[in-house]
Structure 1
Amino acid sequence: MEVDDGAELCFPQLNTSCRKPTLPQSEDVFLNTLLSSISVLTVALNLLVIISVSHFRQLHTPTNILLLSLAVSDFLMGLLLMPVEILRKTSCWFLGDLMCSLFKYVAYIISSVSVGDMVLISVDRYVAICDPLHYTTRITERRVKLCVCLCWFCSVFYSCLFVKDDLTQPERYYSCYGECVVVVDHITEAVNLVMTFIVPVSIIIVLYMRVFVVAVSQARAMRSHITAVTHEISVTLTTKKSELKAARTLGVLVVVFLICFCPYYCVSLAGDSLLNTSSGTFVIYLFCFNSCLNPVIYAMFYPWFRKSVKLIVTLQILQPGSCEANIL
């Protein structure tokens, strides 16, 4: 954020105070209104996903458990990170050095969990499409829940190592009071880039390329057997069609994720000096906006999400036995 030389001090009583960011009033109001609306929308949409998957028993599937974990991280993104990011970029930082360090810690946790969930979703689709006969035995609810818990635990532990210096010495990088900047040494940033971007994205791309190849071959096989009339073949084709549709939907989810996340990591390669400029601000907002897009993708491609939202909004979920409702 550009600061004018005549701008007021954040803390007038301190000579080492930062100056308040200055923007034209109309631009400031528009920016804050837009970003706040996206934050509220992100919280509301992901809360609907969380309630849907948690409440309706038909939705307690391994794939939906992974979507639930992703929705929780997206919910926290809209509830905690987006409002704080708006404050950090459009006004002085009044929350203190420790809160700034905690903000960065939580940001690393949520981004790591999101990447981990995408990897797990890719593995889930890979097994479902490439090894469907063993899917139900290999991908169980219990194993998926365990993987999700490990994903969150590893993200908390890894992020703690990543920002430990910030947590123990939160004031060491600040040039003045009233700022909260992201400063990471190049070695640590390189390790983080490999662990949370290059390796996971490579796994995701390789798995989905394999899924795409197998999905195309299965689609051709289904067309060649479309005239079959036996019940067994009909059920098999219906099952394969359902899995392929799920793979396409989650493929869209993964592609949107990569589009929103890649610019952030590309900018971070240039160093923290660029990350704290206007271009860095844009990629951070794009990074956060992905959390709002995920539920929109569900609404576009998943009929069960639209049905569950209708039941939630009309408060029909408060009725006895509503968890057994036919959603699928």
Structure 2
Amino acid sequence: MNASLDGSNHSSSRPFCLLDAGYPEALDICLLELIVIVFLTVLIISGNIVVIFVFHCAPLLNHHTTSYFIQTMAYADLLVGVSCLVPSLSLLHYRVTFLPESVICKAFGYVVSVLKSVSMTSLACISVDRYIAITKPLSYNTLVTPCRLRVCILFIWLYSGAVFLPAFFDWGKPGYHGDVFQWCADSWDTWAIFTLFIIIMLYAPAAFVVCFTYFSIFRICQQHTKEINERRVRFSSQEGEAADAQPCPDKRYAMVLLRITSVFYILWLPYIIYFLLESSSVYHSRAASFLTTWLAISNSFCNCVIYSLSNSVFQKGLKRLSGAVCVSCARHRAIFQNS
């Protein structure tokens, strides 16, 4: 540690970090970057592990076909957290020396981009699933079957992997810019054609599907709520009773998914804007690259928080899991004290 603070050995011993450019106290800035990455990594991994355990311990959650996509999203977000251990280890001086840095950069950028693409397309599939459930409730069980859901999930992974595959053939940098490797930041450039390709094949279709389906869902829910309330008012006026407004049964669940989707695009919007500006050679900043990318990656933790706070069945499953853990801990403590 003392050698890294010497003038001659400082630049060679300390790891590369995006936030050190232009700052005299570079080591403190790199430490701040390490804290941010490690903090997000711990939150993402622990949060999504809890979500996955709750889904396995709460059978009621598996009654919803949407749970297939929620679990897919949770597994993808968990893998995002695991992959974030790579930059954490890099900043802690643990480097993969037997591979060229260019290979590590391309592999890491590809993996993170594919995993986030799986999350994005899963959200789009969730919105389509809810749209079919509300617009075609009688034929929903025949249209959406477990076999078709598994095929759809497999297609999500294969499609996401195929979209970013050209990055290995020097088409340009994919959708990851929070570089902790110097080769990624200095030598791996984004290209406008590849950026446009990713937007056309992934971002734009997913955004259009989500906006269209949720707009249609809420319009249908408002119409159903209005019709139900009119009927209740009509019957209650005939019987002389007060009528209470009843919401659409699917509206609450749609609101949960809408919150997840809204937070997803809010967190990713700064990154997408920076992605476009950098690809067009309009604006380039290492600090903006780091901040926008890790802001987008933080969505992997926000998904599980929003879902756990918004879904009552999930909360019951979480309480059941917490109770089981507490009982197990108390049992082990009693055995330890008796022994």
SS in 2 for 1:132: coil
Using a 3 Å threshold, how does the CA distance of structure 1 residues 180 and 220 change in structure 2: closer, same or farther? same
Give the residue type in structure 1 aligned to 2:198.
N
Root-mean-square deviation (CA), in Å?
Answer: 3.4
C-alpha distance in 1, partners of 2:56/2:123? 20
C-alpha distance in 2, partners of 1:257/1:204? 11
2:271 aligned residue: 264
The structure 2 residue matched to 1:207, chosen from 213, 217, 224, is 213
1:216 aligned residue: 222
2:4 aligned residue: none
* Structure 2 counterparts to residues 226-265 of structure 1, below 5 A: 226=232, 241-265=248-272
Give the residue type in structure 2 aligned to 1:102.
A
SS in 2 for 1:271: helix
C-alpha distance in 1, partners of 2:16/2:315? 48
* Runs of 5+ consecutive residues of structure 2 not aligned to the other structure: 1-6, 173-180, 237-244, 329-339
SS in 2 for 1:133: coil
C-alpha distance in 1, partners of 2:67/2:151? 14
1:62 shift after superposition:
1.0
1:170 aligned residue: none
Task: Say which one has the larger Rg.
Answer: 2
Mapped pair 1:116 → 2:121: yes
8 Å Cα contact 1:8-1:19 kept in structure 2? no
Give the residue type in structure 2 aligned to 1:152.
W
* Runs of 5+ consecutive residues of structure 1 not aligned to the other structure: 168-176, 230-236, 320-328
1:146 aligned residue: 151
Give the residue type in structure 2 aligned to 1:193.
I
8 Å Cα contact 1:47-1:75 kept in structure 2? yes
Identity between Structure 1 and Structure 2 (%): 21
C-alpha distance in 2, partners of 1:51/1:126? 28
C-alpha distance in 1, partners of 2:142/2:130? 14
C-alpha distance in 1, partners of 2:12/2:135? 58
C-alpha distance in 2, partners of 1:190/1:244? 35
1:285 aligned residue: 294
8 Å Cα contact 1:93-1:179 kept in structure 2? no
Using a 3 Å threshold, how does the CA distance of structure 1 residues 44 and 18 change in structure 2: closer, same or farther? closer
1:180 aligned residue: 184
C-alpha distance in 1, partners of 2:26/2:8? 14
**TM-score, with length taken from structure 2:** 0.75
The structure 1 residue matched to 2:303, chosen from 275, 294, 310, is 294
C-alpha distance in 1, partners of 2:65/2:49? 19
- Matched positions, count: 292
C-alpha distance in 2, partners of 1:146/1:316? 35
C-alpha distance in 2, partners of 1:9/1:30? 17
1:198 shift after superposition:
1.5
Question: Looking at both structures, which has the greater relative contact order when contacts are Cα pairs under 8 Å and sequence separation is at least 6?
Answer: 1
Using a 3 Å threshold, how does the CA distance of structure 1 residues 225 and 26 change in structure 2: closer, same or farther? farther
Using a 3 Å threshold, how does the CA distance of structure 1 residues 46 and 275 change in structure 2: closer, same or farther? farther
